[in-house]
Amino acid sequence: MSEVTATNQITTPVASADAEPTRWTARWVILGLLPLILLAGVLALIVATDAGLGERTVPPIEELNVQRVTLPEPGRIVLDVVNDGPDPITIAQVMVDDAYWSYGIDGDGTLGRMDSATITLPYPWVEGEAHAIGIVSATGVVFDADVPVALESPETDSGTFARFALIGFYVGVIPVALGLLWYPFLRRLGGGAMQFILALTIGLLVFLAVDMFGEAQEIALGVPAVFEGSLLVPVIALLTFLLLMTIASRKGDTPRRGLAVAYRIALGIGLHNLGEGLAIGAAFALGEIGLGVFLIVGFTLHNVTEGVGIAAPILREQPRFINFVWLALLAGGPAILGVWIGGFVYSPLWATIFLAIGIGAIVQVVVEVTRIIAQSSEREGSPWLNWTTLGGVTAGIAVMYATALVVAG
Amino acid sequence: MISWRLSRRDFLRAGTASAALASSGVGLAILLPELGQASILEQQNHAGHGNGDDTQPPATSHEAGGQHDGHSVSMAVGEVGPNAIGIDPMAFLTTFDYGTVSTLANGQVLREYEIVAYDREIEIAPGVFFPAWTYNGQVPGPTIRANEGDRLRIKFINAGTHPHTIHFHGIHSAFMDGTSGIGRGNIEVGEEFTYEFDAFPFGCHLYHCHSFPLKRHIHKGLYGTFIINPDPNKQGEQARERHPDHEESQRWQEFVMVMNAFDTTFDGENEVYAINSVAFHYMKHPIRVERDRPVRVYLVNVTEFDPINSFHLHANFFDYYDHGTTLDPTLKTVDTIMQIQGQRGILEISFKGFEPGLYMFHAHQSEFPELGWMSAFDVVE
């Protein structure tokens, strides 16, 4: 509608009296904008009058989040920091092990809200020992960072890249593919056993979701405060769940395709394995090679069960072989990505977001698999929750718990 | 699954602010090494510039031996402002306030001082500011000096935000003790009071606020040095060396050094140690002394929270007069002494015949020098 028409309608309100309510009349637009205009006015008033609080006399609230500590070479420590507080912060001095130390910082040391900076310290760190770093602000507040085990950070050359990819392949792709190899075996199972396997899938997925939630909450503590990391986890998980439910929903009578469910399970598991990759990458970056090997063995064992879970919804279908390859890559491949991220460019914020998405995705497939069980139970006239399915769920959780013990060493 | 177990997910709180750690993610350095280096050099160059009114010329010893190099990275970065502690830290070393002098009817010398307590921010390390409580706007407060037997009148005005006092270490009436709840007691905000007593006994003393809570009132900056010169008529010829009216005292190079510290996070532990408040200042600007003239240091320890502080001189020994109340040293030929809080003394050092260069001195608790209490004499011919 042109503006001319809109103006006419203002001057001749009678003409628009019977107009449909959704038409873009100028008055209608103004009514929509009015609260926003008033809001802008009130905000301006608050800013102009300090909301009656008077001049701010309290000291600034200084916060600083240490995102990463890197030891790129002997005699050098690099810190990535971000100001996640409401006020600007000026970094005045840096202490290492309770000694003021020379440092370099990009810029003049003053960080506005959400500004980040890199601090470089020419410090002779001692291999295998711990170091404590204190960043002193202009008001004397000290922000701590630490190096739990001082070891040279991995270089980003192609060799390390390939090595990390191999680790991800071992913990992600291989176990999932091995788990999928049970497919021919599982296909010959009877109805009851099938239900058991599907329930087992639910059990292991529930375990993974709970595990990821705890994980995500812990990592979220390292997220800059303004992002409200621990709030992000449930919210992103919920939105992911709802998004996937919307995508998966269809008219009630369409038969449910197992392969689509299998792909969604693979996606959820893939995001979970991304989280495992992050952990392993970070461990390797810290130089904990010995423990890293143990982690790989543990995760590989742990993740074999995931292949069974992916295979479960397609046991009554005839998917082409290439689907299995894709499923294994979708579920296992992200572990490779995770190791790279964890080892090279770790960020608590992105780790939290990925894990939260994974939680939503897993919960959604739990719902899907439950529906599959319900449908088959309906056909057989039995309740969907029975001793077989309960046993399956319990077995799924138990297997994951037991293999997790191996990782925990 | 136990992922992340290797990281120490400590979330440390300092003051009102939190610093979350994510040290687990050790990864690639964003900065090119060259870039980081350049910026460090820049900071050090910046550190190389002296204060405008620093009388010290570019010392030859620095150029010759490059003696600074060994310490250049293990120090605070940058420079404090010229008026960092309410006075230039270099000027503080040698500034003595003898008051406004007149003679009483009985012939006694009267010295009158005015001290105003007020809140002021001081710079205790380059770029690090501390909300101090001060005497006359400076930390340490002005060095009050008098001759033994003089009458002292110290008019104290409290223009701060809390009750304060001045408690002198010396001999005076109970009423003049300058302690909360004793005698005149607290001087409330906006009030004033004149402390009056005779300068006695001679020595190196101190004064400080004695309002409660004591720890807070002292470590916020309310303290200073109080020197009483011995009277040669009463103490003998030796006293002429410490008395400004006598020629024998003129050859001495005298410095006031107050060992203090600051708890910037108010957690009962100090973040900055120094003499005369500014971390590393006399390391960045070594105190110039002529080697053939003796050195006398009036040393006072007011360090709060740590039980002792100490003074250690490199490559030389000295005589020590505990409290400065004797004319014969209480410790002869030592290179390290310690003082509890409130303890003080006089150090007499000779560099006669020594090779010119930097002679470091610092607390010998290694933590303190690395947190700022590190200094040097620049001995020149």
Residue A278 is encoded by which pair of tokens?
A: 């992050």
Q: Which residue of B has its CA nearest to A224?
A: B20
Q: What are A189-221's pLDDT values in tens digits?
A: 877 887 888 888 888 888 888 888 888 888 888
For β-strands B357-362 and B308-313, DSSP reports them as antiparallel
Is the pLDDT at B325 greater than 70? The verdict is yes
Is the pLDDT at B71 greater than 70? The verdict is no
B23, B122, B264, B265: best to mutate for the A interface, most A CBs within 10 A: B23
Closest approach of B75 to chain A, Cα-based (Å)? 5
A329 touches A273 (CB < 8 A): no
Q: What are A96-128's pLDDT values in tens digits?
A: 999 999 999 988 889 998 888 999 999 999 888
B375 touches B283 (CB < 8 A): yes
Q: Is the CB of A65 less than 8 angstroms away from the CB of B20?
A: yes
- Compute the distance between CA of residue B71 and CA of residue A247 in angstroms, rounded to an integer: 65
Lowest mean pLDDT among A124-128, A278-282, B320-324: A278-282
H or E element that contains A258: helix A258-285
Q: Is the CB of B1 less than 8 angstroms away from the CB of A63?
A: no
Residue A209 is encoded by which pair of tokens?
A: 């979701």
Q: Is the CB of A141 less than 8 angstroms away from the CB of B2?
A: no
Residue A241 is encoded by which pair of tokens?
A: 């769940």
Closest approach of A251 to chain B, Cα-based (Å)? 39
Is the pLDDT at B43 greater than 60? The verdict is no
- Tell whether A289 is within 8 A of chain B (Cβ): no
DSSP string, A3-19: HHHHHHHHH-GGGGTTS
pLDDT at A294: 64
- Compute the distance between CA of residue A232 and CA of residue A219 in angstroms, rounded to an integer: 11
Q: What are B357-376's pLDDT values in tens digits?
A: 999 999 999 999 999 999 99
Q: Give long-range contacts, CB 8 A cutoff, 24+ apart: A368-372.
A: A368/A248, A368/A256, A368/A261, A368/A264, A368/A265, A368/A313, A369/A198, A369/A201, A369/A202, A369/A205, A369/A261, A369/A265, A369/A312, A369/A313, A370/A202, A371/A256, A372/A198, A372/A256, A372/A258, A372/A261, A372/A313
Contacts of A59 in chain B (CB under 8 A): 131
Q: Which residue of A has its CA nearest to B280?
A: A100
Handedness of CA A289, A291, A296, A297 (dihedral sign): positive
- Compute the distance between CA of residue A349 and CA of residue A224 in angstroms, rounded to an integer: 8
Residues 218-247 of A with CB under 8 A from B: 218-219, 221-225
Which percentage of chain B shows pLDDT scores above 90?
A: 78
Is the pLDDT at B347 greater than 50? The verdict is yes
Looking at per-residue pLDDT, the higher value among B65 and A60 belongs to A60
- B336 - beta bridge partners? B312
Q: What are B238-272's pLDDT values in tens digits?
A: 999 999 999 999 999 999 999 999 999 889 999 99
B10, B11, B12, B24: best to mutate for the A interface, most A CBs within 10 A: B24
pLDDT at A252: 55
- Compute the distance between CA of residue B99 and CA of residue B2 in angstroms, rounded to an integer: 71
Fold of A64-147: Immunoglobulin-like (2.60.40)
Among A34-48, A116-130, B46-60, B204-218, the range with the most confident prediction by mean pLDDT is: B204-218
- Compute the distance between CA of residue A125 and CA of residue A71 in angstroms, rounded to an integer: 9
Q: What are B103-144's pLDDT values in tens digits?
A: 999 999 999 999 999 999 999 999 999 999 999 999 999 999
Closest approach of B359 to chain A, Cα-based (Å)? 21
H helix intervals, A312-386: 321-344, 348-380
Looking at per-residue pLDDT, the higher value among B298 and B22 belongs to B298
Lowest mean pLDDT among A40-49, A385-394, B29-38: B29-38
Q: Is the CB of A136 less than 8 angstroms away from the CB of B264?
A: yes
Is the pLDDT at A17 greater than 80? The verdict is no
For β-strands B144-147 and B223-229, DSSP reports them as parallel
Residues 273-332 of B with CB under 8 A from A: 279-280
CA dihedral in degrees (B19, B21, B26, B32; nearest 10)? -10
- Compute the distance between CA of residue A329 and CA of residue A374 in angstroms, rounded to an integer: 29
Looking at per-residue pLDDT, the higher value among A30 and B64 belongs to A30
Closest approach of B4 to chain A, Cα-based (Å)? 5
Q: Is the CB of A67 less than 8 angstroms away from the CB of B10?
A: no
What value does the CA radius of gyration of chain A take, rounded to a whole number of Å? 28
Closest approach of B273 to chain A, Cα-based (Å)? 11
Q: What are phi and psi of A324, to 5 degrees?
A: -65, -40
pTM summary value: 0.73
Contacts of B362 in chain A (CB under 8 A): none
Average pLDDT over chain A, rounded to whole? Answer: 81
Residues 46-65 of A with CB under 8 A from B: 59, 61-65
Residue B104 is encoded by which pair of tokens?
A: 């009483």
pLDDT at B12: 25
Mean predicted confidence (pLDDT) in B7-35: 30
Mean predicted confidence (pLDDT) in A4-9: 45
The CA-CA-CA angle for residues A392, A393, A398, to 5°, reads: 95
Q: What are A293-313's pLDDT values in tens digits?
A: 666 777 777 777 788 888 888
The CA-CA-CA angle for residues A187, A188, A193, to 5°, reads: 85
Q: What are A330-363's pLDDT values in tens digits?
A: 999 998 998 888 777 767 787 788 788 878 878 8
The CA-CA-CA angle for residues A187, A192, A197, to 5°, reads: 60
Contacts of B2 in chain A (CB under 8 A): 404, 407-409
Query: How many A×B Cβ pairs under 8 Å?
Result: 245
Which percentage of chain A shows pLDDT scores above 90?
A: 18
Residue B51 DSSP code: P
A305 touches A202 (CB < 8 A): no
pLDDT at A280: 77
B371 touches A99 (CB < 8 A): yes
Cis preceding-peptide flag for A348 (omega within 30 of 0): no
Closest approach of B53 to chain A, Cα-based (Å)? 24
A98 touches A78 (CB < 8 A): no
The terminus-to-terminus CA distance of chain B in angstroms comes to 71
**Orientation of helix A348-380 relative to helix A258-285, angle to 10°:** 150
Mean predicted confidence (pLDDT) in A319-324: 89
Q: What are A148-179's pLDDT values in tens digits?
A: 878 887 777 788 888 889 988 988 899 889 98
- Tell whether B72 is within 8 A of chain A (Cβ): yes
Contacts of A135 in chain B (CB under 8 A): 19
Question: CB-based contacts of B159: which residues, under 8 Å, 6+ apart?
Answer: B116, B117, B118, B189, B190
- Compute the distance between CA of residue A365 and CA of residue A205 in angstroms, rounded to an integer: 8
Q: Which of A76, A221, A286 sits opposite B20 (nearest CB)?
A: A221
pLDDT at A61: 80
Contacts of A275 in chain B (CB under 8 A): 3
pLDDT at B40: 36
Is the pLDDT at B273 greater than 90? The verdict is yes
- Tell whether A288 is within 8 A of chain B (Cβ): yes
**Orientation of helix A387-408 relative to helix A289-311, angle to 10°:** 160
Looking at per-residue pLDDT, the higher value among A26 and B167 belongs to B167
A200 touches A400 (CB < 8 A): no
pLDDT at B23: 33
